[in-house]
Every structure is written in C-alpha cells, then in structure tokens.
Amino acid sequence: MTSIDIAWLPVCRDEVLAPEHGVAVLLPGGEQAAVFRTHDGDLHALSNVDPFSGAAVLARGIVGDLAGVPMVASPMHKQHFDLRTGVCLEDPEVSVRVYPVRIEGGMIMVGSP
C-alpha cells in the first residue's frame, strides 16, 4: 500500500466469517472487496472483481491452497489468485488489488485509501 491515509471500513462481526468462506464488501467509492478467512483464521482481502470475466464474484470462490499458497479459485473460470498478493497463479501478469484487513473490537475492518 502506497497511500498513508487509509480509511477503515467496518465490514461485519468477526464470527460472521467462518473459515474458508468469503464475503463481498461494498466500499464507499463503489469498489468491491472480497474478504476471505483461511483455515488458520487469517484474513485476506482482494478486489471482488474477477479480472478475466469482469464479474464481481471472487468472494464466492472456493478457498484452499495450491502448493502451500493460500488461494481462492474464481467461480467463473477457475483461475486461482494468491490471497496474500492477489497474483493469478496461472498467469502472473494478471493480478487483483489487495486491500488491508484487520480486526478491531470484534469487527472485521477493510482499509481503502
């Protein structure tokens, strides 16, 4: 993240997002993020828009790992995205935006510049 002024948006209560699920979040500027929780409890947030199809669907993908990399599979055409970096595992030239995410007071918060 290059921006210094991050606005944190409360998304939902921590317990709403169970392991290996994803939820979509509408950000103030109209962008959409997808927040995922991996099996170990870690949270990740990526852009919700699948860059291959243009549809806002990544939050509905299957969460798992490939060769140890935590990933989500796009439900549209099954490309995989590294949850930590947003890079597409099949085509490293394609990536989706990563958003900061944290828990504050029992709420999941997503940061946007």
Residues that bind other proteins (CB under 8 A): 9-12, 16-21, 23-26, 30, 32, 35, 38-39, 49, 51-57, 60-68, 70-71, 73, 75-76, 78, 80, 94
C-beta of residue 47 within 8 angstroms of C-beta of residue 86? yes
CB of 41 to other proteins, least distance (A): 13
CB nearer to other proteins: give 6 or 76: 76
CB of 5 to other proteins, least distance (A): 21
Q: Are strands 7-13 and 22-26 parallel, antiparallel or unpaired?
A: unpaired
Token pair, residue 109, equals: 């918060």
CB nearer to other proteins: give 4 or 106: 106
The rounded distance, in Å, linking the Cα atoms of 5 and 14 is 24
CB nearer to other proteins: give 2 or 64: 64
Instruction: Give the DSSP H/E element, type plus range, for residue 13.
Output: strand 7-13
The rounded distance, in Å, linking the Cα atoms of 97 and 106 is 25
